[in-house]
């Protein structure tokens, strides 16, 4: 499996979990090199999500912190670790104790 296919599969797994948790819309930015791979809309919040196949680097984490400081959305970077989805969540440029529903 190529890196692209592996990353795409990880995005679809996260997307399905968000929908199962009650997101009424999850958009996927296919092939995007931008900050968010998925944007999930819930009744009370919007989440911009970067999906990684492994724990993000410090530079990748810093990109999400910067992006979160520029929008009202809650941002998360998620990855798979031993079959479990792990995440770091940011709001307004700071780490947040909020959790992304379903993750």
Residue 22 belongs to domain with CATH number: 3.40.1350.10
| Nearest alpha-carbon partner for 87 in 38, 52, 62, 45 | 52
Q: What is the mean pLDDT of residues 26-53?
A: 88
What distance in Å separates the CA atoms of residue 11 and residue 60, rounded to the nearest whole number? Answer: 17
Q: Is there a contact between 93 and 69 (Cβ–Cβ < 8 Å)?
A: yes
Output the pTM of the full model.
Answer: 0.88
Inside any domain, residue 101: no
- Report how many helices (DSSP H) and strands (DSSP E) the chain contains, helices first: 2, 6
Q: Is 60 within a domain?
A: yes
Total domains present in the chain: 1
In a domain, 21, yes or no: yes
pLDDT at 32 > cutoff 80: no
For residue range 43-99, list pLDDT tens digits in order: 999 999 999 988 999 998 999 999 999 998 999 999 988 888 899 999 999 999 888
- Does a structural domain hold residue 87? yes
In a domain, 20, yes or no: yes
103 occurs within a structural domain: no
- Boundaries of domain holding 10: 3-95
């Amino acid at each position: 499996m190529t890196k692209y296919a592996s990353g795409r599969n990880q995005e679809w797994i996260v997307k399905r979990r968000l929908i199962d948790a009650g997101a009424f819309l999850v958009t996927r930015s296919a092939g995007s090199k931008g900050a968010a791979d998925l944007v999930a809309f819930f009744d009370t919040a919007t989440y911009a999500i970067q999906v990684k196949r492994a724990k993000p680097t410090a530079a990748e984490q810093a990109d999400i912190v910067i992006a979160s400081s520029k929008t009202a959305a809650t941002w998360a970077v998620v990855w798979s670790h031993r079959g479990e989805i792990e995440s770091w969540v940011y709001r307004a440029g700071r780490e947040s104790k909020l959790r992304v529903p379903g993750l």
